[in-house]
Amino acid sequence: MSVRFLALLLMLLSGCSSISESECHLGDWHGLGYQDGQSGQIRERFRTYQRECAEYGIAADPERWQQGYVKGLALYCQPELAYAKGRAGAPYYGVCRNDQLFRADYDRGYAEYRQEQQVEENRQRLMALYDEQQRLWEQLVNSQNPGQRRKLRDHLAQLEWQRWRLEQQQLQLLQQRTPPPTH
């Protein structure tokens, strides 16, 4: 067995950890709290730190973590940034005190993110349909068998219908695009 395979196997067997032993020893609870707040993590994340650090015989500091978390959360929960977070597809866990204000802008941005994802999915499906149609046209041109030519024409007609429906859906999505909010 290779060393690389053994390292991968050990990593998989050990499970995912949210904090390393060295981070537990370092004890930068304020910094970890700040990072968690700034990234919009839920408060329960600290319990995970407590549990994992306890396995190394280290006690986590909830007060220092909470102080950092509150400061980081103040940056995360700025309503001006909510739209951009949603537009980027970042998850939101409902951690902001100004949740209604934040969520309204976040949801608008996230809806646009999902719309862009759908546009891209449709674009890829259209490309696959074009490729399939091209392949079938080449078979049709080269076929001398009347039965096979009829099947190819039928299949091409089905693909043309699918392509038309997908193009219509794509057009609707593109027309629904909205400009970003201005604050």
Give the tens place of pLDDT for each residue, 63-98.
999 999 999 999 999 988 999 999 999 999 999 988
Q: Tens digits of per-residue pLDDT, 123-141? A: 999 999 999 999 999 999 9
Record the pTM.
0.64
Q: How many helices (H) and strands (E) does the chain have?
A: 8, 0
Find, among 88, 100, 81, 86, the residue nearest to 38 by Cα. 81
Which residue type does 77 have? C
Check pLDDT > 90 for residue 180: no
Rounded CA-CA distance 123/115 in Å is 12
Residue 130, CA distances (Å) to 38, 125, 152, 153 in order:
45, 9, 15, 15
What confidence score (pLDDT) does residue 99 get?
A: 84
Rounded CA-CA distance 41/103 in Å is 15
What confidence score (pLDDT) does residue 1 get?
A: 43
Domain ranges of the chain: 17-76, 78-90+98-183
Q: With the C-alpha atoms ordered 29, 35, 38, 44, is the resulting torsion angle positive or negative?
A: negative
